Homo-oligomer: A and B are copies of this chain.
Amino acid sequence: SVNPDLGSERQTASFCVEKLTALLDGGAEQTRIRRAVVEAIESDPEFSRENQYFQTQNERYEAAVRKAVHLQKKMHEMGWTENGPEYKYIYRALSGDVAFLLHRVFMRSISVLGSDKQIAKWIPLATQHKLIGSYAQTELGHGTYLQGLETTAVFDTATQEFILNTPKISAMKWWPGDMGRSATHTVVFAQLYIHGKCYGIHPFIVQIRSLQDHSLCPGITAGDIGPKMNFEHIDNGYLLLKNVRIPRENMLSKFCEVRPDGTYVRQGSQQINYFTMTTVRVSLIADEVLTPLMKACTIAVRYSVVRRQSKLKPGEQEAKILDYQTQQEKLLPQLAAAYAFHFVNNYLQELFNRGYREIQRKNFDMLPELHALSSGFKAVITQHCTAGVEICLRACGGHGYSLLSGLPSLYTKILASCIYEGENTILLLQTARFLIKCFMAASAGQPVPPSVTYLAAVKHGKCPAKNKLDFLSPDIYTEAYQHVAVRLTSSTAAKLQDLIQSGVKKHDAWNQCTVQLVQAAKAHCHYIAVKNFAETVEKLETKAGIQKIMKHLCDLFALHGIFSNTGAFLHDGYTSAAQMDMVTASYLDLLAVIRKDAVPLVDAFDFTDQNLNSALGSYDGQVYQRLYEWAQKSPTNQMSPAYERYLKPLLHNTLSKL
C-alpha cells in the first residue's frame, strides 16, 4: 500500500508521466525494450543486490564475477546480443554491479590499435572467454601525463622479443580494473626502446596469469590495490614486470610497427584513435553520471514528501519537508540539472555520431571542437552531478547517512567520475585552450567551429529585462549566459596577452591564468547547456503538459545558475542589481511551482525499487517500515561480539584489577 503522503502527490501531476518517460528513453518502443530487460534481470535471483550494503570487499568482488559469468548465460537465453537494442540497458539494470568491464576495454583497444592479424587472433579468444583481459595504462606515478609513464619495453633483435620491465616503484601499474585477481592478459602501455632509442608509449599484449591454474606468470607480480571509497566489486590491481619477454607480434601495430631488424615504422592516421578516446568521455555520462543523480533525486524527493517535521503554521499537522523553501532550494535545482544534462547528453551523442561519419570520410575538421566539448562537459557534468548527489544525501538528514538509503554509495561512486577518464581541472583547461585559440581566431576574423562562433559577436549591451517575468524568457537568460562566457574568455585572453607582452614566459603566463581559464571553460559549457535546454523545449510537442513542465525546469536550471553565481552576471553591469533581484524573485517563485510536480518528475525516471535499492526511495514510500526491516538483517544484529571478552568482565568487575 502506498503511503498516502506520497500517493496524493501523484494525483495532481500537471503532465503525463508515461509520456515524459518515453521522451527520456527516446520513444515508447525504447521504454518497452528497457523495461523488458529490467524485468528479466530483476526476476533472476542471481542478479540480486539485496545484501550489497552488508558485504565485504571480497564478497562484493565474488558476486560481481558470478554475475558477469551468469550474464553470458542470460544473454544467450534471452537472445540478447552485443549489437542488439537490449544491450545498452543491461548495465543500468545491473546498476553496474558486474565484473569484466575491462575485458571489454581490452577487446576495444585491440580492435582499434591492433593490426588485422592481431584482431583475427585475439578477438575470438576474448569473445569466447578463453582469456580474461584488462587494460594497464595508469601507473603509481603517472595518470594524467601519459608521456611520463615509466614502464619500459626493450626490443631484443636476437630473440625477436620485447623485454618488459618496471624500472622503479613509481612505474608500477596501479588501478587497472579486473587485473588485481581476475585477468589472464592485459594491454600494457610502455616506453618502447629499440637499439637504445626511445620511441615513446606503445601498447603490448602481456599474459599475466596461467590459463591452466591462474598462477602468476614468471616475472609477474600482481595483486589487488586494496580498499577504495567505492567499487569494492572491482579488483583494481597492481602489476610489476621483471624481464617479461613477449613476442614481437604482441605489440599492437595498426599505427606503428617494429620490423624484425628493429626498424620502427609509423603507418596510418591515429586521428580516429584520438576520436575513440574522446567518445569514451561522452559515453560514460549517461550510465555513470546522470543515472546516479536521477536516482538520488528520486530518493530524496520521495522521502521529502513522506517525511514530516515541525510545523509551518502552529496548530496544523507537521509539514512535509518538501514544503519548506530551503528544502525545495536544495532538491529542485538538482532535478532541473538532471533533465538539462540529459538533453546535453543527447546533443553530444548526436554531434559525435555526425563527427564519426565525417571522420570516416577522412574529414577531421570537427575533432578539436569535439575534443573541447567532450572534455568540458565531462568535467562540468560530473562535477555538477556529484555535488547534486551530495546535496540530495544531506537533504535527507540522518536517514540519508545510512547506507540503506542508497545515497552514500551513489555519492562515493559518482565522485570517482570527477577523477577517471581525465581529471576535471585538466579537462577544463583543454577546453579553455580551445576557447582562447578560437577567440583569437575569431577576433582576427578567421572562421571558427559552430559552437564558438558566438565568441566573435561580442556585444556590449545590457540585459533588457524590465520585470521578473522577463527572466522566464529563454532569450533573456540565454543571452546573459552568452555574455558571461564571452566576457570571461575575452578578459582571460587579454590577461594572458598582457602577461606575455610584459615579458612573462608563455608557460608561466598560462599557469597564472589557469584559475580564470577554468572559469571561462565552465561558463562556456553552462551557456551551451542552457541554450540547448531552451532549444529542446522549443521543439517539444505541446500535448500532455510535457512542454510546459520542461519549460519550467529549463527556467529553473537557468535562473539557479544565475542566482548561484550572481557576481559573474553583475560584474560588468550587463545585469543590474535591480535585475538580479528580479532573477531571485522569479527563481524562488519557480521553486513553488515545480514543487507541485516534483514526485511525477522523479517517477518519470522510471527506476524500479530493486534498481534504487533504497529504504527511503521506494515507490510506495513506506520508509520507516523498510528501514526497520532491513536493519534487522544486518550482520551487526547478533549478540555483541565484544560481550564475553570485554563487556562482561567490565560490568562484572572482573577485568584484571586496575
Contacts and interface: CB of A to CB of B under 8 A. Distances in A.
A1 interface: no
A309 B143 contact: yes
A398 B130 contact: no
B224 A627 contact: no
B238 A628 contact: yes
Interface in A219-268: 223-229, 235, 238
Contacts of A124: none
A642 B318 contact: no
Interface in A632-658: 632-637, 639-643, 645-651, 653, 655-656, 658
B172 A628 contact: yes
B309 A142 contact: yes
A311 B142 CA distance: 12
Contacts of A175: 398
Interface stretch (A7-15, A83-91, A273-281, A563-571): A563-571
B577 A636 contact: no
A324 B636 contact: no
Which residue, of A312, A418, A647, has the highest number of chain B Cβ atoms within 10 A?
A647
A402 B58 contact: no
A143 B313 CA distance: 19
B401 A624 contact: no
Interface string A564-603: 0111111111000100100010001000000000000000
A35 to B, nearest CB: 25
A633 B238 CA distance: 13
Number of copies: 2
A642 B62 contact: yes
Contacts of A394: 415, 418-419
Interface stretch (A340-348, A351-359, A467-475, A503-511): A503-511
A630 interface: yes
A144 B396 CA distance: 12
A128 B650 CA distance: 9
B632 A223 contact: yes
Contacts of A655: 69, 72-73
A614 to B, nearest CB: 13
A190 to B, nearest CB: 18
A226 B573 CA distance: 54
A74 to B, nearest CB: 10
A505 B310 CA distance: 17
Interface in A420-471: 420, 423, 425, 429
A129 interface: yes
Nearest to A213: B648
Given A66-B646, A514-B326, A653-B128, A568 B571 contact: no
Interface residues of A, number: 131
A115 interface: no
Contacts of A628: 140, 169, 172, 238
A131 interface: yes
A81 interface: no
A182 interface: yes
Interface string A190-220: 0000000000000000000001001000000
A458 B400 CA distance: 41
Contacts of A513: 325
A408 interface: yes
A53 interface: yes
Nearest to A517: B326
A228 B130 contact: no
Contacts of A512: 325, 588
Contacts of A402: 225-229
B566 A631 contact: no
A129 B650 contact: yes
A643 B214 contact: yes
Nearest to A588: B515
A77 B363 CA distance: 79
Given A326-B425, A651-B211, A404 B514 contact: no
B397 A61 contact: no
A642 B178 CA distance: 12
Contacts of A211: 651
Interface in A123-160: 128-132, 138, 140-145, 148
Contact of A226 (B565, B588, B636): B636
A229 B507 contact: no
Interface string A161-198: 00000000110101100001110100000000000000
Contact of A309 (B148, B416, B507, B572): B148
Contact of A324 (B56, B397, B511): B511
A414 to B, nearest CB: 12
Interface string A381-419: 000000000100010011011111000100010011011
24 contacts: A53-B226, A54-B227, A56-B635, A58-B636, A58-B641, A62-B642, A69-B646, A69-B655, A129-B653, A140-B624, A145-B309, A148-B310, A182-B640, A214-B640, A214-B647, A226-B634, A228-B403, A229-B408, A312-B508, A326-B514, A515-B588, A566-B571, A570-B571, A572-B577
Instruction: Give the 3 A-B CB pairs with smallest separation, nearest first.
Output: A566-B567, A226-B634, A567-B567
Interface of A: 53-54, 56-58, 61-62, 65-66, 69, 72-73, 76, 128-132, 138, 140-145, 148, 169-170, 172, 174-175, 180-182, 184, 211, 214, 223-229, 235, 238, 308-314, 318, 323-327, 329-330, 390, 394, 397-398, 400-404, 408, 412, 415-416, 418-420, 423, 425, 429, 505, 507-508, 511-516, 518, 565-573, 577, 580, 584, 588, 624-625, 627-628, 630-637, 639-643, 645-651, 653, 655-656, 658
